[in-house]
Amino acid sequence: MPNLEHPAYPAADLLHLESLVPCRESQVSTLLSIFGERQQFSFPSIFIYGHTSSGKTYVMQSLLTTLQLPHVFVNCVEYFTSRLLLEEILIQLQSCSSGAEPSSPVHCDTLNDFVRLFKQAVASQELQDQTLYIVLDRAEQLREMEANILPAFLRLQELTDRNVTVVLLSEIVWELFRPSVGCFEPFTMYFPDYSIGKLIFSSAFQGLYNTLSEDVQKFIPGLSAALNFAKYCEPVVRGEANERDTRKLWKNIEPHLKKAMQTVYLREISSSQWERLQHDGGEPGQLKGLSAHTHVELPYYSKFLLIAAYLASYNPVRTDKRFFLKHHGKIRKTNFMKKHEKTSNHLLGPKPFPLDRLLAILYSIVDNRVAPTANIFSQITSLVTLQLLSMVGQNDQLDGPRYKCTVSLDFIRAIAR
């Protein structure tokens, strides 16, 4: 009972495709019906979105390659400027069909050039009778390029007057793309998230490493599942369980997976270290994770500077006198306090403070006299480069720089000890 049916493509290919894209049959068949037959003009642009790791890229790739449709696949993160992107498309286009032909370096600075060169390329490769697909992965990056890039890609079919369809893949919805001046509306399509049951069932049923690798890897972005798959299959291999018995299989793997999730998933230890551990049968407790090394050793005055910065960031200015002066006079009653000030300052986050306040607090919390030497000032700057403090506002040192303390209370506690 093949779900995928299309008169234009051989049934064997479709069957193979179906096996490659579990749980995505409906989306694929929609796409196929939009694509139509090879020579038919398709919708000018298609916009596919869905959450992270819902198989957008994978489905597109397997669809285009199994059916041997002429296509160009470009990741917009990788080609971060419009020029690189356009040139990359042309290069792939050249090598797409003509294969070994030595391609001269392409120069394409503007979209105008691109349209011209694109027409040439298509004409030279006898692709006129087939629809050419240009897939732009991570299309949200297009918004950061020149303003004309995105609208132009959306109506590339019209601009070039060739049989071409642009497919945009993204994690965000089309509404966030639409430029203010308006543009051609693409056909939008949503890829829903995989459900766990579907996933486990399909993968266990088919037992195909290949599909699983892509799906599971994305489903659990850490490698835990992949690393654990051998364990997962263990009962099947031993004949204790039947492949369909997902519950039993899950039970078997659960404690193992949990341990892995706590360590590898959070990148506490690397996957290869994990593997070695598994191999040796040791406990992950032996290896110290990344977060075990939170303590930072700082020079004496840097510690005090950081503490002073913390105090300056989280205490309101008017309490300074009370906290840091020996003869501060009477403490006024607190019922004058406005209501919003009762919320903890820690919830509000650090506030910026001027350099002079930092130094004043420093002088009062350090026991002996501190000379305002160049070393102290350079320490402040190096704390900024270490991202323990951050500079607020303009970078003009002469203009009374303001800082913020970016470390947490726990960190300060550890330092103050």
Partner 1 sequence: AHEFRSASSDSEDTELRFVTCQSLWSQIKSETEQIQEDLNKQLLDNLVSFLSRSHSDFQEKTTEWTCRMKFREIPTAALVLGVNVTDHDLTFRGLSDVLQDNITPYVALLEAKDCPGIKNLMQKLMGQLMNCDIDVDSLEDEDCVQVSQNRIRCSMSSLISWYESVTKKIDSETPSKKRNSSSRHWQSPPVVVIFKDMESFTTKVLQDFIVISSQHIHELPLVLIFGIATSPMIIHRLLPHSVSSLLCIELFQSLSCKEHLSTIIDKLLLTSQFPFKLGGKVLQVLINIFLYHDFSVQNFIKGFQLCIVEHFYSQPLSVLCCHLVDIKKRVYSLSHDQCENIRRLPSFRRYVEKQESGKQIELLTNDSFLKEETEKLLEDLHVYHENYVSILRCLHVFTSSLPKYPLGKQIRELHCACLENRVWETEEYESSLQLARMLNKTDLVTMLQQCVEILMSSSGKEFDRAVEKLKEFLTQFQNLEGASQERDVSISPHKELQKKTDLYHLQKTLLELKESRRSKKLTKFEMLRFEVVDYIDSLVRRYLVPADDRTLHEIVYFNAAAVLRGHLNAAPRTALHTALNNPHWYLKNQALKCDGGGISNKAPDICIVYKLHLECGRLINLVDWLEAFSTVVMAAEEPNANAASSDQVDDIIHARFIRAVSELELLGFIKPSKQKTDHVARLTWGGC
Considering only 121, 136, 204, 223, the residue that binds partner 1 (CB under 8 A) is 223
Both tokens assigned to 56: 């957008």
Binders of partner 1 in range 75-134 (CB under 8 A) = 75, 77-81, 84, 87-88, 91, 105
Nearest approach, Cβ of residue 299 and partner 1 (Å): 5
Cα 11 to Cα 1: distance, rounded to the nearest angstrom: 11
Nearest approach, Cβ of residue 98 and partner 1 (Å): 18
The reply on whether position 386 binds partner 1 by CB under 8 A is: yes
Identify which of residues 179 and 221 has a Cβ nearer to partner 1 in the complex.
221
The reply on whether position 294 binds partner 1 by CB under 8 A is: yes
Window of 19-27, 112-120, 185-193, 384-392 that interacts with partner 1 by CB under 8 A: 384-392
Window of 124-132, 157-165, 268-276, 322-330 that interacts with partner 1 by CB under 8 A: 268-276
The reply on whether position 208 binds partner 1 by CB under 8 A is: no
Window of 14-22, 31-39, 233-241, 381-389 that interacts with partner 1 by CB under 8 A: 381-389
b/e sequence 169-201, b meaning 16+ C-beta within 10 Å: bbeeebeebeeeeebeebbebebeebeeeebbb
In this structure, is the dihedral angle defined by the CA atoms of residues 259, 264, 269 and 275, taken in order, positive or negative? positive
Residue 56's Cβ-count burial label (10 Å; 0-12, 13-18, 19+) is buried
Do the beta carbons of residue 324 and residue 365 sit within 8 Å?
yes
Both tokens assigned to 250: 């899950």
Cα 196 to Cα 205: distance, rounded to the nearest angstrom: 14
Instruction: Give Cβ neighbours of residue 200 (< 8 Å, ≥ 6 apart).
Output: 246, 249, 250
Identify which of residues 144 and 161 has a Cβ nearer to partner 1 in the complex.
144
Q: Is 319 helix (H, G, I), strand (E, B) or coil?
A: helix
Identify which of residues 36 and 354 has a Cβ nearer to partner 1 in the complex.
354
The reply on whether position 215 binds partner 1 by CB under 8 A is: no
Name the β-bridge partners of 164.
132
Identify which of residues 4 and 60 has a Cβ nearer to partner 1 in the complex.
60
Considering only 129, 297, 367, 410, the residue that binds partner 1 (CB under 8 A) is 297
Q: Are strands 45-50 and 187-191 parallel, antiparallel or unpaired?
A: parallel
The reply on whether position 299 binds partner 1 by CB under 8 A is: yes
Residue ranges that bind partner 1, judged by CB under 8 A: 52, 75, 77-81, 84, 87-88, 91, 105, 209, 213, 217, 221-223, 226-227, 229-230, 265, 267, 270-273, 275, 288, 290-291, 293-302, 356, 360, 371-379, 382, 385-388, 397-400
